[in-house]
Amino acid sequence: MSKSGPKRRLGALLLLVHLSGCKTMQPVREPPATFLTTEAPTRIQVRTVRGEEITLMDPRIEGDLIVGEIRDQRNRRSGVEWRAPVSDVTEVRVPQNDAALTLFVVVLVVPAVWLAAAVVACSDDRCS
């Protein structure tokens, strides 16, 4: 095996982690109407004054309403359109890369999986 083999695999792993990254829903700081108009996200979560949390696909502003397609409990498009006045929305959250969670996965979870695989592979004395 060439010396570049392990480096190439490590580079591919780091690129994969960087590109996939762990995402969490983070609140936006701008007013909902401004954010939706300028950023045009494909998915958001809204929290309403009644405490509801709803995930919407392709959200948009129509007059003084936030409009979007509701995602169902299995995180699939439901075909049901949701409309609410912007004034009823207390928070808008969007998926953003979570550096801390990604770092946790890379530093702790990936090595733990590799270690577990090595233990299983060596459990039948092939590593002696």
Question: Cβ atoms within 10 A of the Cβ of 6, count?
Answer: 10
| pLDDT tens figures, 98-110 | 666 666 666 676 6
CA–CA distance, 43 with 58 (Å, rounded to integer): 6
Going residue by residue through the chain, which has 128 residues, state the pLDDT in tens, using 9 for 90 and above. 445 566 676 666 666 666 666 677 889 999 999 999 998 999 999 999 999 999 999 999 999 999 999 987 666 777 889 999 999 999 999 987 766 666 666 667 667 777 777 777 777 666 66
Structure tokens at 49: 């004054």
Number of folded domains that form the chain: 1
Which structural domain, as residue segments, surrounds residue 49?
20-120
**What residue type is 123 in one-letter code?**
S
Residue 7 placed within a domain: no
Residue 127 placed within a domain: no
Query: Are 93 and 44 contacting, i.e. CB atoms less than 8 angstroms apart?
Result: yes
Residue 38 placed within a domain: yes
Residue 43: which of 63, 23, 16, 62 has the closest Cα?
Answer: 23
Residue 4 placed within a domain: no
Q: What is the SS3 string spanning 51-93?
A: CCEEEEEEEEEECCEEEEEEECCCCCEEEEEEEEEHHHEEEEE
Residue 116 placed within a domain: yes
User: Is this model's pTM higher than 0.75 or not?
Assistant: no
Residue 92 placed within a domain: yes
